[in-house]
Amino acid sequence: MASLRIKKPNTRRGKKALEEREPKTIENLKKTLIMEGRKCSNEIRHALKDLNLLKKPNSRMMRHKNDVTPFEDATPLEHLAKTNDCHLFLFGSSSKKRPNNLVLGRIYDEQILDMVEFGIDQYTALEKFKTEKISQFTKPVIIFNGYKWKLTEELRRIKSLLLDMFHIDHIDSIRLQGIEHVLSFTLTDDLTIMIRSYRIQLKKSGQRTPRIELLEMGPSLDLSVRRTKIASDNLYKVAMKQPAILKAAKRKNVTRDELGNVHGRVHVGKQDINALQTRKMKGLRKTAEEKRQEKLEKQKRNSASGETSNDEDMEGDTNAEDDEDMDDDDGEE
């Protein structure tokens, strides 16, 4: 019963750490747990260090060796990932049966979702490339080469795992001078995955768009797939499900900010300012002088209209008398 007891945090730091681990509408950047097994060769050790340099600052590298076998018993690995708040992991080991072994995986709901075991066939360390390196916190451009990535469900999951492992953050716009790093994943005909890292150089081209050259800066790995542990379709669908607030249908003239508040834009048709009722506004009321002037103008209009009506009546009377005289003359004849 002691293990089922929930202990509340006593300090502000502990409370803040638990709040960071709670589910959010927009999740934090995924951290990667990098660790070594019981036995590890120098090649695997250098490969893990180079991958840690590419993943910084979103990585956590364990200093000591760990007695973990992910495919046989993943409970210790899941516990370490939960303790360090990591959702991705890189595990390196080496044995007589499986030399230079590299395991990549991701975790969902504190349990392993996907896990792939690779064998390193060829490796060139980062320090052996005597070229200029990129600056830290640079987001890489990820490229997948080869038509076989979409042939089977297993290869599609491996592609998704690699993209999830090395991508940093979603961006809406880019700056040409800010693109410095390219990660290339090439799948050959014998299903070997070739990982290459390049630095982008912008050269003068005599035009507005510069000429781009790729300079390999390492590390360089050739991986072969050994064992895989893929999640079921139902579990994978649940893991990929997004909150309804993020995939809401777009509505015209309605936007939502980062805090989730809804902002609407209303378009009003053309208005006739002369027809607006503005007398109720205190600042637009007519003064006494304006009212007297308007009354005089109204009286003048009424008097002018009365004179014109009298003239029309008189003209009508004279016309009637002339008609009667004409009728009398006709009778005498």
**Whole-prediction pTM:** 0.69
Q: What is the mean pLDDT of residues 119-123?
A: 94
> Which residue, among 119, 133, 277, has the nearest Cα to 201 in the 3D structure?
133
Q: How far apart are CA 102 and CA 94, in angstroms?
A: 9
> Which residue, among 157, 55, 80, 66, has the nearest Cα to 115 in the 3D structure?
157
> Which domains can be identified in the chain, with CATH numbers?
27-233 (3.40.50.10480)
pLDDT tens digit sequence for 246-263: 766 677 888 888 787 888
Q: How far apart are CA 227 and CA 46, in angstroms?
A: 22
Q: How far apart are CA 74 and CA 68, in angstroms?
A: 7
Least confident segment among 41-50, 209-218, 300-309? 300-309
Question: Would you give the distance in Å from CA 330 to the centre of its chain?
Answer: 103
> Which residue, among 274, 278, 230, has the nearest Cα to 114 in the 3D structure?
230
Q: Residue 2: its pLDDT value, please? A: 46
Q: Residue 216: its pLDDT value, please? A: 92
- Regarding predicted confidence, which is higher, 169 or 298? 298
Q: Residue 314: its pLDDT value, please? A: 62
Q: Residue 122: its pLDDT value, please? A: 94
Backbone angles phi, psi at 182, to 5 degrees: -130, 130
CA 42, 44, 49, 53 dihedral sign is positive
Least confident segment among 80-89, 153-162, 255-264, 273-282? 273-282
Q: Which residues contact 15 (CB under 8 A, 6 or more apart)?
A: 9
What is the DSSP secondary structure assignment for residue 292, as one 8-state letter?
A: H
Question: Other C-beta atoms within 10 Å of 114: how many?
Answer: 22
Least confident segment among 202-211, 212-221, 290-299, 309-318? 309-318
Render the burial of 115-153: b for 16+ CB within 10 Å, e for the rest.
bbbbebeebbebeebeeebbeeebebebeeebeebeeee
Q: Residue 319: its pLDDT value, please? A: 55
> What Rg value do the Cα atoms of the chain yield, rounded?
41
Q: Residue 221: its pLDDT value, please? A: 94
Backbone angles phi, psi at 197, to 5 degrees: -120, 130
Query: Strand, coil or helix: what is 79?
Result: helix
